[in-house]
Chain A
C-alpha cells in the first residue's frame, strides 16, 4: 500500500524515483514496495533540504527498514537541531532502535551527537549495561563507552566504571573487550587531564588483578597480554614475571604445564637472558609440538630468530 502517495500531507512533494543506471544494474535488491516508496520521498525532501516534522517522521520510517542508511542519520540530526526537537525523547526512541539493531555504527554516532548536546551522562551506564547483557563484546558499545568516559570525565574510581568492569570480568573473565576498557581506564586518562600520571601503585594493583585472573583460568590470553602490556608500558623487564609464569609451566615438568601463554612468556624471558637461548628453544619446541600445535609454524619462526647453539670459535 502506498503510504505517502495517498497522504494529503505529502501531496506537494514530487518523489524522485530510483534511476538504476541502465539495463544491467548490479546487485539490485528485491526490497519492499514500502521501502522503495519511502526512499523516493526521502530523496525528494533531501533534494529540497527540507527541515520539517514530516521529514523527521519519514527518516524514522526509513531507519526502521534500513538502519545502515548513513546520510539519513546525518539528515535526521540536522532536522532535530533545525526544529529544536526534544533530544531526550529522541534518545528514548534511539534506545529501542539500538536494542533491535545491535551491529550498527550509525546508531552510536547519532547517540554521541545527542548525548553531547544534552550534556549529561545520566542513565547512560545503565543503558550500556542492558546493551552488554545482549552482547558483552559489542564493539560499537565499547567504543561509545570510551567516548562517554572522556566526554564526562568518568575516570575516578567512584565513577562506577572500574566497578562495572570488575563485575563484567567476574561474569566472564574471557571478555577481552572488558580487559581493553580496563586498560583504557588506567592509561587513557594520561594526556586527557593536565598533570595526570599513572601511579606506581595503580600499576601494582593492575598486575595483581591480572595475576588473579590468570590463576582463575591460566589458558586465558587476555590477562597474559595485559601483564605484558603493563610491563612494556612502564618499561619494566619481562623477567619480573619469571616466577609467576613458572607457576603454570616449567620446562622440566612438561606434564604439569597449565598454560601455553606461560610457556610463550618464558620463551621470551629466556631469550632476553644471556646464554639462555637454549631454554628458549626448548620452550618454543614444547609449544610447537604439544602445547599449541596449530601455531607450530609461528613457534618455529620464533625459534629461527634465536642465535644458533654453537658459540663462535674464539
Chain B
C-alpha cells in the first residue's frame, strides 16, 4: 500500500472497498415493469454521496458534466432537498465556484486546476475555461438555487464570444496562441446558447453594457451547412446524421428563437430572421425514423411489422392499448439509421421531436409524433436496472450518463402519457416537468429568470466564500 499522504487517494482506497457502486450483472427487470422510483432515488443518492468507482477515471477531466448529470435527476425526482442539507448544497455550489476562472467560464474539473501556479498568459491554456463545463456549472447552480452573485457574468459572456470561429461554429477551449480548440460540432454551440440564455435571463442590465454578443446568424448558417441528405444533422458538413448533434442543433435554435415558425404571420413587421432546419418535414421524418423495436445487439436490425398477426388494426383502433403478444411492446430510439436502441437517444430524439413538433404545429393533441407508450416500455422494461438507474442498452449495468438521460426522457414521456391518459397513471411518474431545450426541470431553468444581477452580494454568500477559503487554506 502507498503511504502517499494525498487525502484524495487515501479516501479513494478506503471508499472503493466499502462501497461497490456497480454490482455484478443481475437478472433483467420483472415482467410487469414499473418505474422503480425508490431504487432510482437510492442510485442517485449513492452517486451523490459516495465515490464513483474507478471505471469513471476517464471522466475525471469532465467532472462538472458528471455533477450536472447527478444533480439534475435528483431535482427531477424532487429529492435533492430531501437527501441533502442546505449546508451541503451551499458546499456543492462552492465546489462549482472553485472551478470558475477569473477571465470567465469554468474549468471542466478540479483535476485540471494548476492552483496558485496558474498564470493566464503563461500556462492558462493548460487549465482553460471549457464551454460544456460552463453550461453544466450554470445549470447546476440553477438546480442548487444559488444566488449567482459570484458568477463572473460579463467576463463569461466575453469569453463565450471569443469561442466562436469565423464559420459560426464554437470550440471547446482556448489553447496555445489563442487557438480555438475542439471539434466544430453542435454540442459547443448548444452549450453556448444555454449559458448565454442563463446569463441574460435574469434582472439587471448594467454589467452587460459594452458586451458584444455572439453571432447567432453564424451559428444558424453553420447548422444549415451540417444538414444531411436524409434530413438529420451532423457535427460537420457531410458527416453522418446523428441524433445527439441533431438535438444540440434544434435545442440551440429553439433557445435562440431560430426554429421556423409554422404560424409565421407574414403581416408582422419583424424582419425575416435566418432559421433552420431548412426542411422541417424532412427532419421530422428522420427523427420519427429513429424509433425502433430493435432492442438487443444480437437481434436482426430490420423488422417487418406486417409479419405480426396483431399488426392489422383499423385506423379507429390506433392509439388504444394493445397487448397482443406478437407486436413488440417496447420501442426505443437509435441515434443513427440501422442501429439498435440506446437509452440516451430516448432523450435526444424525443426532445428534438418535441421542440420541432411545436414549430411544425404537429403536437398531435399532446401525444407527440413518437410512440410514447412503447418508448416508456423500452425505458422501464428494457433499460431500467434493478438497482435503479438505466443502462446504455438493454441488460447493461447503469451508468450516470445513461441513467440521467433515461430519467429525463421518462419525465418527458410521462407527461405525454399523462396528457392522454396512458401509461403509469400516476401523472408523469412523479417527476418534475422537464424543459426539453435545457435538459433540466422547468423549475430549475426558471430559477435563472429570477436572478437579480444588480443586487449586492449577500452576507450569506460572502460567508460561504470565507468558509471555503478557510478549508482550502486560501
User: Which residues of A approach B to under 8 Å, CB–CB?
Assistant: 1-2, 5, 16-33, 35-37, 39-40, 43-44, 46-49, 65-71, 74-75, 78, 105, 109, 137, 139, 142-143, 146, 174-177, 180, 183-184, 187-188, 217, 219-222, 225-226, 228-229, 232-233, 257, 260, 285, 288-298, 300-301
* B371 touches A (CB below 8 Å): yes
**Closest A residue, CB atoms, query B130:** A70
Contact between B181 and A74, CB atoms less than 8 A apart = yes
Contact between B126 and A46, CB atoms less than 8 A apart = yes
Which A residues are CB-close (under 8 A) to B67?
26-27
Contact between A22 and B53, CB atoms less than 8 A apart = no
Complex formed: what's the CA distance from A16 to B125 in Å? 17
Subset of 23 A-B contacts with CB under 8 Å: A19-B472, A21-B96, A24-B92, A26-B63, A26-B95, A27-B66, A28-B11, A30-B12, A31-B57, A36-B9, A37-B4, A43-B113, A44-B117, A69-B60, A139-B240, A221-B289, A229-B229, A233-B229, A260-B305, A290-B313, A291-B311, A292-B305, A293-B327
**Closest B residue, CB atoms, query A229:** B229
Among the 9-residue stretches B27-35, B331-339, B343-351, B427-435, the one with 4 or more Cβ atoms under 8 Å from chain A is: B331-339
User: Which residues of B approach A to under 8 Å, CB–CB?
Assistant: 2, 4, 6, 8-9, 11-13, 15-16, 47-48, 51-54, 56-63, 66-67, 70-71, 88, 91-92, 94-96, 98-99, 108, 110-115, 117-118, 122-123, 125-128, 172-173, 175-176, 181-183, 228-231, 235-236, 238-242, 284, 288-289, 291-293, 301-302, 304-306, 311-315, 317-319, 327, 331, 336-339, 362, 364, 367-371, 374, 400, 468, 471-472
Complex formed: what's the CA distance from A131 to B371 in Å? 36
B2 interface neighbour in A1, A174, A221, Cβ under 8 Å: A1
Contact between B95 and A221, CB atoms less than 8 A apart = no
Contact between B338 and A221, CB atoms less than 8 A apart = yes
Contact between B98 and A70, CB atoms less than 8 A apart = no
Which A residues are CB-close (under 8 A) to B301?
174
Contact between A29 and B239, CB atoms less than 8 A apart = no
Which A residues are CB-close (under 8 A) to B319?
296-297
Contact between A29 and B57, CB atoms less than 8 A apart = yes
Contact between B315 and A20, CB atoms less than 8 A apart = no
B183 interface neighbour in A22, A105, A226, Cβ under 8 Å: A105
Complex formed: what's the CA distance from A71 to B133 in Å? 14
Complex formed: what's the CA distance from A276 to B70 in Å? 53
- The CB with the most chain A CB atoms within 10 A, among B47, B127, B311, B337, is that of B337
Complex formed: what's the CA distance from A57 to B2 in Å? 22
Contact between A28 and B48, CB atoms less than 8 A apart = no
Complex formed: what's the CA distance from A257 to B239 in Å? 33
A298 interface neighbour in B4, B127, B337, B369, Cβ under 8 Å: B369
Which B residues are CB-close (under 8 A) to A257?
306
**Closest A residue, CB atoms, query B244:** A139
A interface, by DSSP: helix, strand, loop or mixed?
Answer: helix
Contact between A143 and B11, CB atoms less than 8 A apart = no
A210 to chain B, nearest CB (A): 12
Complex formed: what's the CA distance from A46 to B230 in Å? 45
Which A residues are CB-close (under 8 A) to B108?
70
A289 to chain B, nearest CB (A): 5
Which A residues are CB-close (under 8 A) to B173?
70-71
Complex formed: what's the CA distance from A19 to B122 in Å? 21
Which A residues are CB-close (under 8 A) to B6?
17-18, 33, 36-37, 40
Contact between B318 and A29, CB atoms less than 8 A apart = no
Contact between B288 and A298, CB atoms less than 8 A apart = yes
B91 interface neighbour in A23, A35, A39, A176, Cβ under 8 Å: A23
Complex formed: what's the CA distance from A293 to B415 in Å? 22
Contact between A33 and B4, CB atoms less than 8 A apart = yes
A47 to chain B, nearest CB (A): 4
Which A residues are CB-close (under 8 A) to B288?
295, 298
B242 interface neighbour in A67, A139, A188, Cβ under 8 Å: A139
A27 interface neighbour in B47, B336, B339, Cβ under 8 Å: B47
Complex formed: what's the CA distance from A217 to B369 in Å? 27
Contact between B371 and A296, CB atoms less than 8 A apart = yes
Q: Given the interface contacts A2-B4, A26-B63, A221-B289, does A176 sit within 8 Å of B229 by beta carbon?
A: no
Complex formed: what's the CA distance from A226 to B240 in Å? 12
Complex formed: what's the CA distance from A31 to B14 in Å? 11
Complex formed: what's the CA distance from A2 to B1 in Å? 10
Contact between B48 and A22, CB atoms less than 8 A apart = no
**Closest A residue, CB atoms, query B65:** A27
A-B CB proximity, top 3 nearest: A229-B229, A21-B98, A24-B91
Contact between B304 and A219, CB atoms less than 8 A apart = yes
Contact between A183 and B229, CB atoms less than 8 A apart = yes
